[in-house]
Structure 1
């Protein structure tokens, strides 16, 4: 049962103000957050839904310089673009603020000062790389050089993306600045560090023990992996002109690190929204704080920000962080640098009447526990075969039949004595439909409470499936010549289902919900929202003899030409490397085997519960895999292709009956199966949909 809270503070990750939004952003954080908030509001909950633009950091100054703008002009441009896209798409923030606002500066500086006054920060001077031409200290990501491990010439200062090795800038061979291209020099600089290591024991109690049963496995696993590796102090200041000045007399030219100041933006946005009573949304233990983010922000929201809140001492902590994995596009990673993306503002310009369609498709493929893939063909199929053929079809049939037989007035709610075989069949169909519908409503609401939005939307669509079956079973169009009383009873109940569907649609398809209520001509439906969502059962929605408005189509088919236009547009604007355009070479087949050789293999699907990099090995990851029958350790040579954090929560295919083998002193109890591209890139072999651990491959 859902724990009762007085109110909810719901945040969605602050998008970085250096470019437009794409569908990966929407699927990762903003659509799940909006769906959940709409659900809470329908239940009558007190909710503050906050977000805003993240506008500081080195990337802003570099981006501004490339576009010939000041940092302020640069963030203004992208803040306005993102805010408009969110508004046009219908993401229902209570406030969309920005971290360049004066209220945020003061909030972040006060937060820093309170921790500083407790003597928690570590002050340290160290040598860091400096770009003499640009006159800036360089963050790790703005330094590239030759990887000392694999020789890749363009490894970053924090990681080599070719071999996956974690690096520090000083390990790079022949480092150079990505800003000027020049070789940087080392210069001493003083900074303040947050002692994250001092919070390790507390994090183990609060997070590892306290949330192991209620947080998503991909979130929990990544956090556990980080904490198990040991935490280190983190610098929370930078040498920059653009940003929030460090509020200390000896900190001239220093600003707060963007990842220290950005999450405080949730607090300052709430202050802006509710200046007189913001504290109850952040300091009352009876408030539930929930962060919606993508998986690249897990560590910041689950380890660093909670530690900051704990250090400050007066704030509540996040009760859940339902982070999503990544969304791919047409089988490839979304890439802003290659322009391989579906930009939200362009979608809204091309398809302004199809907002619900995009919400539906993205919800249906939501990357809740593993990466998922958006394709335009799948988009077309889901719109045509589900939204049009199931939901739209049911609502339209009921409306059209009511107008045909009763001039658009809700027929009487007759009780039908089972005096004929046909009436007995109608009563049986009604009883079954009513049972199925109420069960579906409970399952939909249960899934929403558990942040399982794919499942919740599936159950919402099931209401229309059950409604269509009820009409097909009772066939009112055939009864019209002999039993109009029965026709009226059937359509009266069908209209009740339509009204309930309008309420069920609201978190997922708000546009369709408005259209259905307009057709029903029933403002009374809105008065029953809370009753529907709290009772978790069908509610009587439209009184008999009530006049309906004319029927209208909820959705229209997506034509091939529309899809071809989008696919062609994507191809034209992509900036693919030449190597990616080459035809893949395929390795020759291995020697032939007989069936008995294959039959000896026990190949199963498992789920990775935890993962860590093996010390003194560049290739091995140590995985804890749920095999369905046990939890086993498997060592896999994939560290150059996947990080430990990426592996947690993923489904893997493995050989379960391979004789155990000791490697580096650890017994490996299986072999993970991978596919190797022509360029040597290893990829996991995974089922298309989630299956239970232990499922066999045959």
Structure 2
């Protein structure tokens, strides 16, 4: 990048179109990228803000398979949900495209062809996993197994979502296919590889030229480059039936690897937006390219995509990659598979008109340098104690006092006191202070500095007490409200990147237009005589009942999709041990509670060849009068013993669910009593 920046290209990670976006996605890359883009626009910068849905790869196939739908149905549905929810929360993309569009297919295929013709790709016949039951090669995401790093049992073939380690399917311990559950076998197949091992020198030089990157980004990149055997060649094609066909004659049934085609989506979206002018934003050295992503995408945006661009030639590489860490939820990792998430489209339905509240809270708690936690209680506290009690309270008090004493007209200022001068000077310095933070991608700090202005206004108004001075010293009261009105006007400008809806409402109330950032450093943003209107409260209190309802909703949704928890396996036995058990079909004839024993029932069971007395600890789960005629499975050769004075001559077999509920394990109704269960 040259010292003079003529334009900016801002990208936000393409969301997979296999489900809605949640607050973790929003905090990770969409909010910070939007704040940055809005700030640059307010500075009059030439920029494009690019995104779109990633609609290829195994994740789409998996979702389609689980719903019994076609991949096209899945991507059409979720593209619309994602597009609409991001738009409603105020993410101001210049283009939000799709990787299923023809322009993207052509761009990605042309890119691949260029690399192929330059000899930048290596053709290899390798062994890939094949599902013998489904009779097809299976993509990395269709394989699960034990992570060799953290030993998480459900790691994917390309990445462990528990520890974040990138993997290859052959790294997994005890892999199995998600298609059929079968153990996959290795089978030969041909693919085209990007030789990252041969490019590692160039990639390392590129990474080391950006030591100013966030420590988590630079550190992860260097770890990839320096650990073990370093970078290895990576296949850029896959055996799949959904995706962009590999544009070679001998590549039937093969598609481009999703992490080859997805980042090219930024380029194709720019073509869609600008036509032939797209090249200025991707090839010129005076362009600043910034990728906003989550930490799980660092390797793809900092190593693989730059390597692709280097080999193609003619492209400008990323100047900044301000990746965030992960956002957790109520102390637990967000999990889409377990439905432990706050979905953005549902938030927008449940909290209509509170878009900026979520933007504020997620920015204030953004996981910029380490994983952070979102809780509904903190959400409520920040809304009620900060947005309502500080920012909203200050603005409302100024508007009310202006209407009460001056019919909404800005009074003429008298002589300024030292407190007035200090307040106006701090106000005028705030835009530069916020800008310093934003240009260093410290969004939490920038938001805090914006809120510092609201705190300053609140304290200034409380200290000066114009409602008391209006009678004894009206000029002093007028000067105080003049200064307070300037602070309100400043807030209406500098709030814009963070809370655009509230900033627009406040500007409407103050009857002012949006200003360029450089024009916000004035000490007079509202002239004496300018008339404002009273527009009501910017923010409203969120009650305990609302928060409790969200907590209950979260727990209920997770419980509905909870994966069963299985008891650990017992010590291995030999076949001969099992054959010692004599299990027979029986029918309960009668049941009654055992005296002085809350958990025990005394059962009389017909085994065909005889009737037996059996004591079972099931009184908490069944009414005795309901059990007569119930088929059961009985271990009949268990040594008899007395329980609470009642002889028990066997054991009834029960099944227990994850919540501890018991049910009888029984043979079909037509199976005679005494029949052997083997």
- Partner SS for 1:267: helix
Distance in structure 1 (CA, Å) of the matches to 2:360 and 2:162: 36
Would the alpha carbon gap of residues 372 and 271 (structure 1) be closer, same or farther in structure 2, given more than 3 Å must change?
A: same
Displacement of 1:341 in angstroms is 0.5
Instruction: Say whether the 8 Å CA contact 1:50–1:270 is kept in structure 2.
Output: yes
Equivalent position of 1:228 in the other structure? 226
Instruction: Say whether the 8 Å CA contact 2:330–2:374 is kept in structure 1.
Output: yes
1:427 pairs with 2:411: no
- Partner SS for 1:275: helix
Displacement of 1:503 in angstroms is 0.4
- Partner SS for 1:410: coil
Would the alpha carbon gap of residues 159 and 85 (structure 1) be closer, same or farther in structure 2, given more than 3 Å must change?
A: closer
Would the alpha carbon gap of residues 487 and 217 (structure 1) be closer, same or farther in structure 2, given more than 3 Å must change?
A: same
Displacement of 1:177 in angstroms is 1.0
Would the alpha carbon gap of residues 435 and 87 (structure 1) be closer, same or farther in structure 2, given more than 3 Å must change?
A: same
Would the alpha carbon gap of residues 202 and 36 (structure 1) be closer, same or farther in structure 2, given more than 3 Å must change?
A: same
Equivalent position of 1:686 in the other structure? none
Equivalent position of 2:210 in the other structure? 211
Distance in structure 1 (CA, Å) of the matches to 2:87 and 2:190: 42
Q: For residues 454-484 of structure 1, give each alpha carbon's deviation from its aligned partner in whole angstroms, at most 9, with x where no partner exists.
A: 0000000011111112212222111111221
Distance in structure 1 (CA, Å) of the matches to 2:404 and 2:151: 75
- Partner SS for 1:470: helix
Instruction: Say whether the 8 Å CA contact 2:58–2:140 is kept in structure 1.
Output: no
Alignment of 1:99-110 (within 5 A): 99-110=99-110
Displacement of 1:240 in angstroms is 1.2
Displacement of 1:371 in angstroms is 0.2
- Count of residue pairs the alignment pairs up: 563
Would the alpha carbon gap of residues 126 and 61 (structure 1) be closer, same or farther in structure 2, given more than 3 Å must change?
A: same
Displacement of 1:441 in angstroms is 3.0
Distance in structure 2 (CA, Å) of the matches to 1:263 and 1:120: 18
Distance in structure 2 (CA, Å) of the matches to 1:248 and 1:70: 26
Would the alpha carbon gap of residues 453 and 162 (structure 1) be closer, same or farther in structure 2, given more than 3 Å must change?
A: closer
Instruction: Say whether the 8 Å CA contact 2:214–2:322 is kept in structure 1.
Output: yes
Equivalent position of 1:521 in the other structure? 511
Equivalent position of 2:555 in the other structure? 571
- Partner SS for 1:134: coil
Distance in structure 2 (CA, Å) of the matches to 1:466 and 1:514: 21
Equivalent position of 1:629 in the other structure? none
- Which of 487, 490, 494 is matched with 1:500 structurally? 490
Instruction: Say whether the 8 Å CA contact 2:59–2:141 is kept in structure 1.
Output: no
Alignment of 1:62-141 (within 5 A): 62-141=62-141
Would the alpha carbon gap of residues 155 and 25 (structure 1) be closer, same or farther in structure 2, given more than 3 Å must change?
A: closer
Instruction: Say whether the 8 Å CA contact 2:16–2:55 is kept in structure 1.
Output: yes
Distance in structure 2 (CA, Å) of the matches to 1:150 and 1:205: 31
Q: For residues 652-676 of structure 1, give each alpha carbon's deviation from its aligned partner in whole angstroms, at most 9, with x where no partner exists.
A: xxxxxxxxxxxxxxxxxxxxxxxxx
Instruction: Say whether the 8 Å CA contact 1:400–1:551 is kept in structure 2.
Output: no
Instruction: Say whether the 8 Å CA contact 1:22–1:342 is kept in structure 2.
Output: yes
1:555 pairs with 2:539: yes
Q: For residues 258-313 of structure 1, give each alpha carbon's deviation from its aligned partner in whole angstroms, at most 9, with x where no partner exists.
A: 00000000000000000131110111111110000000000000111011111111
Distance in structure 2 (CA, Å) of the matches to 1:312 and 1:112: 9
Would the alpha carbon gap of residues 456 and 79 (structure 1) be closer, same or farther in structure 2, given more than 3 Å must change?
A: same
Displacement of 1:140 in angstroms is 3.0
Instruction: Say whether the 8 Å CA contact 2:221–2:299 is kept in structure 1.
Output: yes
- Partner SS for 1:480: helix
- Partner SS for 1:248: coil
Displacement of 1:172 in angstroms is 5.3
Equivalent position of 1:423 in the other structure? none
Distance in structure 1 (CA, Å) of the matches to 2:146 and 2:333: 25
Would the alpha carbon gap of residues 152 and 205 (structure 1) be closer, same or farther in structure 2, given more than 3 Å must change?
A: closer
- Partner SS for 1:96: strand
Alignment of 1:300-315 (within 5 A): 300-315=300-315
Equivalent position of 1:273 in the other structure? 273
Equivalent position of 1:52 in the other structure? 52
Distance in structure 2 (CA, Å) of the matches to 1:89 and 1:163: 30
TM-score, normalised on structure 2?
A: 0.80
Distance in structure 2 (CA, Å) of the matches to 1:392 and 1:579: 47
- Partner SS for 1:113: helix
Distance in structure 2 (CA, Å) of the matches to 1:393 and 1:44: 32
Displacement of 1:12 in angstroms is 0.1
Displacement of 1:159 in angstroms is 6.5
Displacement of 1:150 in angstroms is 9.3
Equivalent position of 1:328 in the other structure? 328
Distance in structure 1 (CA, Å) of the matches to 2:105 and 2:95: 17
Displacement of 1:330 in angstroms is 0.3
Would the alpha carbon gap of residues 154 and 530 (structure 1) be closer, same or farther in structure 2, given more than 3 Å must change?
A: closer
Would the alpha carbon gap of residues 199 and 404 (structure 1) be closer, same or farther in structure 2, given more than 3 Å must change?
A: same
TM-score, normalised on structure 1?
A: 0.77
Greater shift, 472-481 or 126-135, is seen at 126-135
- Partner SS for 2:283: coil
Alignment of 1:9-408 (within 5 A): 9-145=9-145, 156-157=156-157, 168-170=168-170, 175-208=175-208, 210-212=209-211, 214-229=212-227, 230-408=230-408
Q: CA RMSD in A?
A: 2.3
Instruction: Say whether the 8 Å CA contact 1:39–1:507 is kept in structure 2.
Output: yes
- Which of 430, 435, 442 is matched with 2:432 structurally? 442
Instruction: Say whether the 8 Å CA contact 2:147–2:154 is kept in structure 1.
Output: yes
Q: For residues 327-365 of structure 1, give each alpha carbon's deviation from its aligned partner in whole angstroms, at most 9, with x where no partner exists.
A: 000000001111110000000011011100000000000
Instruction: Say whether the 8 Å CA contact 1:500–1:539 is kept in structure 2.
Output: no
- Partner SS for 1:282: helix
Displacement of 1:88 in angstroms is 1.3
Structure 2 unaligned segments of length 5 or more: list them: 569-678
- Partner SS for 2:276: coil
- Partner SS for 1:315: coil
Distance in structure 1 (CA, Å) of the matches to 2:171 and 2:417: 76
